[in-house]
Structure 1
Amino acid sequence: MKSKFIITLLLLLTFKGFSQDYSVQGTVTDNYQTSLLGVNAIVKNTTKGAQTDENGVFKISNLENGDYTLIVSFIGFKTKEIDFTINNDDFNIGDIALFEGNELLQEVVIDTERQNKFSRKQSAYVSKMPLKNIENSQVYNTITNQLLISQSVNTFEEALKNAAGITKLWSSTGRSGDGAGYYSSRGFAVQPQLVNGVAGITNGFINPSNVERVEVIKGPSGTLFGSTVTSYGGLINIITKKPYSGTGGEVTVSGGSYDFAKLNADVNISPNDKLSLRFNGGFQQQHSFQDAGLKKSVFVAPSISYRVNNNLTLNFSYEASQNEQTNETFLFLNRYGPLAFNSIEELGYNEELSFTSNDVTITNVTQNYRGEVAWKLSDSWSSQTLISGNTAKSLGYYTYLWNVADWTDPTAPVGTEYFSLYAQDTNSKTKTLNLQQNFTGTFKIGDIQNKLLVGADYLDYKITDNSSNWGYLHTININGDLVFGEPEINEENLSAALSGLGFLNSDVRQNIFGAYISDVINILPSLSVMASVRFDRFDYQGDRNDASDDETEYTDTTLSPKFGIVFQPIMDELSIFANYQNGFSYVDPQYMTDFSTGETFLQSYDVEQADQFEVGAKSSLFNNKLEATLSYYNITVDNKYFWATQTQDLEINSQGIELEVNTNPVAGLNIHTGFSYNDSEITNSPSATYLEGSRYGESGPEITYNFWADYKFFKNFGIGAGFNGQTEYDTMVAYKAATGSFYIPGYTIFNASAYYENDTFRISIKGNNLTDETYYSGWSTITPQQQRVLLGTFTYKF
């Protein structure tokens, strides 16, 4: 019996010696010795890795004898590399401390099976310093890559439906100056104008294939981001895909309703330990559900990351795109007289009529580049130097339909069901240059810990517009029947209509210099306060004055403060916060005419100011299985410029409640949901008293909501389902004293998907607007939205 035992023991030891199945493990904390959950630990040049649990512990198994390098990385922290050796035994690295910094994740994120995978609130952008969501006094929504994949998102508009309180007002028009889409946030219009934390031009519709995630930062955010890329309701930051350490990628092919087709290739290569290259490119097209309409997009996005040493990293990214689209149907309602209809039913509009032609399109050619020098000065201090630039061109015909009276009938009121088509031959270019320098670090005053940001930025913004003046083509009724003018919408007729009308020849330039400082002070481990301030100097150079042939130039300065307080009754699990945030907007000077004398003079305006007070609570409970944010905000603008009267005396109050929840209640089930209520009112308007008591025009609906659930079962199979919607709203509130109201009806849209995925491929089917609901968006306009769509997607991963 004894000999059998010895033989068995020898066989087991021999088997273990041959199998060489060993592991490496460790515990990851921040520099305050707080455990970090969800940190990526990867064995370099292998596919083996793991994420830390709630205690900061990771374990990577199935390692053979040999020398290895462990890469430990986390969003908002400096990546650390640690050498270790496996020698016939498991290896315990022990405690690993990560230090905070602006560096983005440079390694593969192992999150296929990640707990609460729709949650990702670590960000190097929101505060321009690494703060956990639960210790940040500002509210923001993150639309993660995993959520985009689960929903088979193919348009940027689809992605933004996942942000609480965000609703679309206008689709992207592609026109000069403001061709990006408009969305309402907290009662104010905002456009996506921030890319990777700096100004980025998005005049055309955005192809989401190069989007890693979207951050919707709430409330006036002028203190850290200035006024050019923000609104009083917040800002939209697009995070693009970055290089990582390793070789791999994927190819995606999609097809579906209305000739939808998509091809995308995303490849990453690391030829050595220091260099990583990534190339992402693709093509996408789709026709409209209406009788005419199309969109086409092609883009290439190479990026490179070079690690000079453990303290210095150079990053560069570039994106070039060309988007072509027909003018989406915008029915502009008359703003100057009583409407003859107050609803879609009374108008009698058939949403399948586009009133356009596939022969007339507008093209946007866009280039964005961003260079970064990330330098770790010490374990406590880091430097980030950024240079970015953008060029966007708008070329082609832009058209819109304006609601007019029937001049053949003198008794017909303004707002009869007739629409005149106006056109412009667009030829404009927008160009920006952005320089930014940030220093972030930690230090102590006595026993009190400080996290400090000191930064400065310079933005040069120029719009050159050589487009034609506006011309008239024809008038139609709501059924599309010709009433007057040329019957066909084509290039020949539009060219003839615009002939001899002249060109705008507009050249406007702004130079903005800003400097800011922000300090987060940890008075106690559970109590922190934040104080920030920004200084901006505006230099506006506008068009020549026709009366004097002089160029206009105007300068102004402003200060923008920000304060916040966070108390954590349960450390890293529950926080209560309050903030005061400031936003501002530079108002371009306007030429006005004194009709009593006929003289033209330049009217300058003060910088608009908005103030927000907000309170709320954030949670990361049950080992991050329940992440939620609930807040109440109150925003006041007391010197808003009103274009109709060219006066600056509007006072607006916008207040409301927002809720966002990301939860992983049981294994395999992930839920993302949001709710928003907004009450917006023009409280004072001396120059236009008829506006007082009205909802502000760009506020959109009072209530919006979204929900998406993804359940994965049998390891590889999964289903997803959800809905999004909003209540009705008056799209003519700014003009209803003259026009009356027109209500955009509320709606609820249902979507669902099913998929199979493994390490090699993913195949999915998706249905959007399953009930084929007819619904609309609008901002003094009416635009029908997408009907039912079925999509199929295949992704090969390597």
Structure 2
Amino acid sequence: MSQPFTLFIFLFLWSFSLSFAQNGEVSGSIHTSDGKPAELVTITIKGTNKGSITDKTGNYTIKDVTPGSYILKVTSVGLEKQEKAIEISPGSSLNVNFVLKENAATLQEVLVSTKNLNKKDTYSARMPLKKLENPQVYSTVSVETMKEQGLTNFDDALRNVPGITRTWESTGRASDGASYFALRGFDSQPIMYNGLPGLTSGNLDPINIEEIQVIKGPSATLFGGSFYSYGGMINTITKKPYYAFGGEVTYQMGSYGLNRVTADINTPLSKTEKIALRINTAYHDENSFQDAGSKKSFFLAPSLVYEVNDRLSFHLMAEILEEERAVPAVFFHSDRTGPLPFKSLEELNLNNNLSFISNDLTIKNPRFNLQGQMLYKLSEQWTSQTAISRGTVKSDGYYTYIWDDGITDNYFDQFAQKEQQTTSVTNIQQNFNGDFKIGALRNRLLVGLNYFNRNTINNGSGSAIVRKVTPQQAEVAYIAPGTTDTIPPVYLSRMFVDNILANTGAANSNVSNSSYSAYVSDVLNITPSLSAMASLRVDHFVSKGEKSDPDDDFNQTALSPKFGLVYQPILDKVSIFANYMNAFINVTPRSIANTDGSDPRIKSFKPEQANQFEYGIKTDLFNERLNTTISVYNIKVSDRVSTDPNNRNDYLQGGKVQSKGFEIELNANPFQGLNLIAGYSYNKTEVIAGDENDFYSEPGRAIGGQGPQNLANLWASYRFTSGKLQHLGLGFGGNYAGKYRVMDSSITGEFDLPSYILLNAGVFYNLAHYRISFNLNNITNKEYYIGYWSVNPQRLRNFSASFSYKF
């Protein structure tokens, strides 16, 4: 995006945001009928553009009000509005309080998803910052948006965020079995909970999600080098207890045998002390849209909060998941060493109805995550956060994939492997946050220490070819080349696969690595409108590698800087920002072997590095009814790790990759009841230095898994707030993905997945104690695909209907 175009956008937004003379002030508090503070309630002065939104204590302030007589109005979608007449005198400070007819539980349900997007966020910068104050870009998806769209899985929620797209569904396999997303052209997985490390090798259940936060750009300075963070981080913010009794029970049914029951129950545990418990739980049973495939899971997430006093509080959260699935085989349509026999989807002619799996071959992914936090207010200027998290995830079952056999024919090899791996992570973190002045300059300072450990125990089998398939048929007779021998069709039963894998041997690996980190970040307000952020992390990585092999130990110390500037030409309405950010990934030592699988061993690597320069503009206009973010970025990565083209059991380090593009995001509430979420992104990711004979690092080529260059998203919902249709809501939107080059090599040739447009709609009826909804996805029954050097068919038209009882 050119600088003149950015300047034009800034001037356009400025012209709609002129402020007027400062005169009087209105402030007060709003509470619910049960005496609880009412957060996120809108207060406006009729006939003006003045207004505010209550904070978590129920307080609000409206400044710069011209003297005169007005009507002060309190509204929130789904609530009965209240009005009071007020008189503003020159220089006066008027106090006006309201009591809503609704209780705290009802109020929480009807909060609007696009409201108050400039509220202070404590996760992306690890300190309380408004979105306009933060030089980093991040996007959020609220629980209310997920309810409007009838979502039953985590992955679909991210269709509301520009610049990110799924490239691979969760396989449940060892080490990296969670879903893969392309974020600004690089890999990302949902492995952060409340800003702390978590673990997933299967699916995430949305019942315990309050908000999903996508933090964009290299983010190792504050979050460390143990996770994918070149393009950003996916942070899941879980539901928290509150001090009132309430809850919701929901039954949801839909296409492909979907049956889902969820419950969200909150209760205070003491009449005299602030102790509250919240339990979220879900049972999920669903089949596949293909000929085989299934999922059954049970999820339980208790959370507890105890506010000892106004200075000290404790927060505990656990997540327990039992999940078993039959996962469709990933269809890799090339062996990556020879020319592609199929140059397009039409030539490949893949049968979308085939899963290439049987429901007898399942994988279990039990998961446990625990987090504990102690928050302590040291003084008026300083707070302390002590956090401990522990996570364990297992992969126990069968993973299969399809690979071109290297012969120019219509046959492919299907491989299978018995997964048996347990990964555990432990994280201990101490943060101190200060907000103080040195002279006339305001400083918001973060000082933190972090310890992280990952341990992986692998006792899985080797992999073996279990049958031949074609893109059109799974159970197919196969004639061996050069012979007349016919191998009959093979059905994948557990007994059959176990007999083949019995001769592949078993791994016996126990790998451990740790990092010890210290970081500091300071936001300095040079003037009320101009601030600068400077951050630095020191990270010492200690890899013990295989515990039985003392020769594979590896230590590495890395520095990760971050800088940002924010200028607000119109305070709290428009900000112009620029940043430099770094990411380093302490690459986990990997199991390698010779080309024939012999001599298995562990190999360590030095950190990979990413550096980003970005600039853009953020706005919060028209009484917080229009929030936009426009950004332009350039990321360069060095020391990238990829598979050795001469030995698929080994890895090499080297080469450089560049990702550049821009993103536009809009969240709007033009008038009461209507909410809009929209975005567009463009990204180009390619190798800029590498090996021209290497499939994975050929200069000038796409890196694989980078996603489509063009992405767009839209969701519009309207809730009738009065009249006979009051409480009825409608939603409509969709997604566009441009052409996606999943294979790009002079060795293999190119293979593109075609562009697609998906349309989705929903209708819901929301009362104080009941909610009924119906959603229809992929309305046009579009055949479309995602991939990561692969071709993965996606769901056709599907629906879901739900009924909720709230109390």
Same fold at TM > 0.5: yes
Q: Name the CA shift for 1:591/1:155 in 2 (closer, same or farther; >3 Å).
A: closer
Shift of 1:116: 3.7
Q: Is 1:448 aligned with 2:441?
A: yes
Q: Name the CA shift for 1:450/1:399 in 2 (closer, same or farther; >3 Å).
A: same
Equivalent residue, structure 1, for 2:67: none
Q: Work out the CA distance in 1 between the residues paired with 2:143 and 2:27.
A: 19
Q: Is 1:369 aligned with 2:364?
A: no
Which of 39, 50, 53 aligns to 2:43? It is 53
Shift of 1:201: 0.4
Equivalent residue, structure 2, for 1:470: 463
Q: Deviations over 1:530-565 (max 9, x none)?
A: 0000000111122378xxx64521000000000000
Say whether the 8 Å CA contact 2:692–2:699 is kept in structure 1: no
Shift of 1:282: 1.1
Q: Is 1:740 aligned with 2:745?
A: no
Mapping for residues 784-795 of structure 1, pairs under 5 Å:
784-795=793-804
Equivalent residue, structure 2, for 1:309: 309
Say whether the 8 Å CA contact 2:546–2:602 is kept in structure 1: no
Equivalent residue, structure 2, for 1:637: 637
Q: Work out the CA distance in 2 between the residues paired with 1:509 and 1:281.
A: 33
Say whether the 8 Å CA contact 1:251–1:795 is kept in structure 2: yes
Q: Deviations over 1:366-409 (max 9, x none)?
A: 00000010111112211000001001111111111112245xxx
Q: Name the CA shift for 1:118/1:742 in 2 (closer, same or farther; >3 Å).
A: farther
Q: Is 1:727 aligned with 2:735?
A: no
Equivalent residue, structure 2, for 1:766: 775
Shift of 1:649: 2.8
Equivalent residue, structure 2, for 1:496: 499
Say whether the 8 Å CA contact 1:574–1:620 is kept in structure 2: yes
Q: Work out the CA distance in 1 between the residues paired with 2:311 and 2:412.
A: 62
Which of 173, 177, 180 aligns to 1:179? It is 177
Mapping for residues 187-226 of structure 1, pairs under 5 Å:
187-226=185-224
Equivalent residue, structure 2, for 1:683: 688
Say whether the 8 Å CA contact 2:217–2:232 is kept in structure 1: yes
Q: Deviations over 1:492-537 (max 9, x none)?
A: 1011011132101121111111110000000000000000000001
Mapping for residues 333-348 of structure 1, pairs under 5 Å:
333=333, 334-348=335-349
The amino acid of 1:372's aligned partner reads: Q
Shift of 1:162: 0.8
Q: Name the CA shift for 1:635/1:147 in 2 (closer, same or farther; >3 Å).
A: same
Q: Name the CA shift for 1:253/1:35 in 2 (closer, same or farther; >3 Å).
A: farther
Equivalent residue, structure 2, for 1:648: 653
Equivalent residue, structure 1, for 2:701: 694
The amino acid of 2:703's aligned partner reads: Y
Equivalent residue, structure 2, for 1:409: none
Shift of 1:489: 0.4
Say whether the 8 Å CA contact 1:115–1:664 is kept in structure 2: no
Q: Work out the CA distance in 2 between the residues paired with 1:36 and 1:386.
A: 39
The amino acid of 1:53's aligned partner reads: I
Q: Classify the secondary structure of the residue corresponding to 2:506.
A: coil
Say whether the 8 Å CA contact 1:121–1:132 is kept in structure 2: yes
Q: Work out the CA distance in 2 between the residues paired with 1:228 and 1:737.
A: 33
The amino acid of 1:489's aligned partner reads: L
Q: Name the CA shift for 1:507/1:130 in 2 (closer, same or farther; >3 Å).
A: same
Equivalent residue, structure 1, for 2:477: 482
Q: Name the CA shift for 1:250/1:39 in 2 (closer, same or farther; >3 Å).
A: farther
Q: Name the CA shift for 1:774/1:376 in 2 (closer, same or farther; >3 Å).
A: same
Q: Is 1:615 aligned with 2:615?
A: yes
Q: Classify the secondary structure of the residue corresponding to 2:746.
A: helix
Equivalent residue, structure 2, for 1:280: 280
Q: Deviations over 1:762-790 (max 9, x none)?
A: 10110000100001110011111011111
Aligned residues: 716
Q: Classify the secondary structure of the residue corresponding to 1:681.
A: strand
Equivalent residue, structure 2, for 1:159: 157
Q: Deviations over 1:241-284 (max 9, x none)?
A: 11111000000111011101110011000132411011111111
Q: Is 1:517 aligned with 2:517?
A: no
Shift of 1:196: 1.1
Shift of 1:53: 3.1
Mapping for residues 747-762 of structure 1, pairs under 5 Å:
747-762=756-771
Say whether the 8 Å CA contact 2:219–2:581 is kept in structure 1: yes
Say whether the 8 Å CA contact 1:37–1:53 is kept in structure 2: no
Q: Work out the CA distance in 2 between the residues paired with 1:226 and 1:48.
A: 36
Q: Work out the CA distance in 1 between the residues paired with 2:295 and 2:621.
A: 44
Q: Classify the secondary structure of the residue corresponding to 1:178.
A: coil
Shift of 1:639: 2.5
Q: So what's the TM-score if we normalise by structure 2?
A: 0.84
Q: Work out the CA distance in 2 between the residues paired with 1:673 and 1:585.
A: 32
Q: Classify the secondary structure of the residue corresponding to 1:494.
A: helix
Q: Name the CA shift for 1:246/1:564 in 2 (closer, same or farther; >3 Å).
A: same
Q: Classify the secondary structure of the residue corresponding to 1:741.
A: strand
The amino acid of 1:778's aligned partner reads: G
RMSD: 2.9
Q: Name the CA shift for 1:535/1:497 in 2 (closer, same or farther; >3 Å).
A: same
Equivalent residue, structure 1, for 2:585: 585
Q: Work out the CA distance in 2 between the residues paired with 1:280 and 1:590.
A: 36
Q: Classify the secondary structure of the residue corresponding to 1:146.
A: helix
Q: Classify the secondary structure of the residue corresponding to 2:757.
A: strand
The amino acid of 1:676's aligned partner reads: S
Q: Work out the CA distance in 2 between the residues paired with 1:426 and 1:522.
A: 53
Q: Name the CA shift for 1:485/1:176 in 2 (closer, same or farther; >3 Å).
A: farther
Which of 532, 536, 539 aligns to 2:539? It is 536
Equivalent residue, structure 1, for 2:484: none
Equivalent residue, structure 1, for 2:243: 245
Q: Name the CA shift for 1:420/1:510 in 2 (closer, same or farther; >3 Å).
A: same
Q: Name the CA shift for 1:591/1:351 in 2 (closer, same or farther; >3 Å).
A: closer
The amino acid of 2:443's aligned partner reads: N
Mapping for residues 4-153 of structure 1, pairs under 5 Å:
41-42=31-32, 51=41, 53=43, 71-72=57-58, 110=108, 112=110, 114=112, 116-117=114-115, 119=117, 122-153=120-151
Alignment gaps of 5+ in structure 1: 1-33, 61-69, 75-89, 97-105, 407-412
Alignment gaps of 5+ in structure 2: 1-23, 45-49, 61-85, 87-91, 97-103, 479-486, 646-650
The amino acid of 1:487's aligned partner reads: V
Q: Work out the CA distance in 2 between the residues paired with 1:40 and 1:477.
A: 65
Equivalent residue, structure 1, for 2:355: 354
Which segment is superposed worse, 445-454 or 349-358? 349-358
Shift of 1:137: 0.3
Shift of 1:114: 3.9
Q: Classify the secondary structure of the residue corresponding to 1:351.
A: coil
Say whether the 8 Å CA contact 1:118–1:147 is kept in structure 2: no
Say whether the 8 Å CA contact 1:120–1:142 is kept in structure 2: no
Q: Name the CA shift for 1:315/1:264 in 2 (closer, same or farther; >3 Å).
A: same
Shift of 1:192: 0.6
Q: So what's the TM-score if we normalise by structure 1?
A: 0.85
Say whether the 8 Å CA contact 2:170–2:202 is kept in structure 1: yes
Equivalent residue, structure 2, for 1:505: 508
The amino acid of 2:718's aligned partner reads: Y
Q: Name the CA shift for 1:37/1:460 in 2 (closer, same or farther; >3 Å).
A: farther
Say whether the 8 Å CA contact 1:281–1:301 is kept in structure 2: yes
Q: Name the CA shift for 1:437/1:544 in 2 (closer, same or farther; >3 Å).
A: closer
Q: Deviations over 1:675-725 (max 9, x none)?
A: 100011211114747711112212111001110000112321111000112
Say whether the 8 Å CA contact 1:512–1:538 is kept in structure 2: yes
Q: Work out the CA distance in 1 between the residues paired with 2:313 and 2:131.
A: 26
Q: Classify the secondary structure of the residue corresponding to 1:624.
A: coil
Q: Work out the CA distance in 1 between the residues paired with 2:28 and 2:393.
A: 39
Equivalent residue, structure 2, for 1:796: 805
